[in-house]
Amino acid sequence: MWAVANLTGQPSRKIVGELVMFTLVYNEGGAMGTRLGSTDYYTVMALLILPFIAYYLWRNRFERVIAWPLAFILGGAIGNLIDRIRLGRVVDFIDVDMPDINLSFFQLDRWWTFNIADAAITCSIVFLLLHMLLVKKAAPPAPGS
């Protein structure tokens, strides 16, 4: 709501020079510029997936290393879903520069504009993936021991 109220019709607002700016963008697609379908597709997918995330969060509510990232994923997804229902698209406004990526089939000069919900979801997914890959679980006790 802040971004819409303060950035509509305005040029990009420099926060840290051109490295970090606030630029209002309406996203009808998905994360990182994906366009797998209409905004209705993303709304329906969120409505179908959110109950599973909520259930998994509830099942792991006492294991903080899993519960906190799941809570951020759930909260971020709900925030983006509220935008989709209320506005028909997601409000993005954090605009970050990065080193250019130039491949023969792909070019990226700035990172995709995102919002706080996107950051919460992305950082939490990366954390969970790293946790699954790097943290060894204790082996279950052998039968009969």
The catalytic residue among 83, 100, 109, 118 is 118
Distant-in-sequence, close-in-space partners of 122: CB < 8 Å, separation ≥ 6: 31, 114
The yes-or-no answer on residue 92 being catalytic is: yes
The catalytic residue among 83, 92, 97, 109 is 92
Question: CA-CA distances (angstroms) from residue 73 to 9, 12, 120, 145?
Answer: 30, 28, 6, 39
Distant-in-sequence, close-in-space partners of 96: CB < 8 Å, separation ≥ 6: 19, 20, 21, 110, 111
Give the active site residues.
92, 118
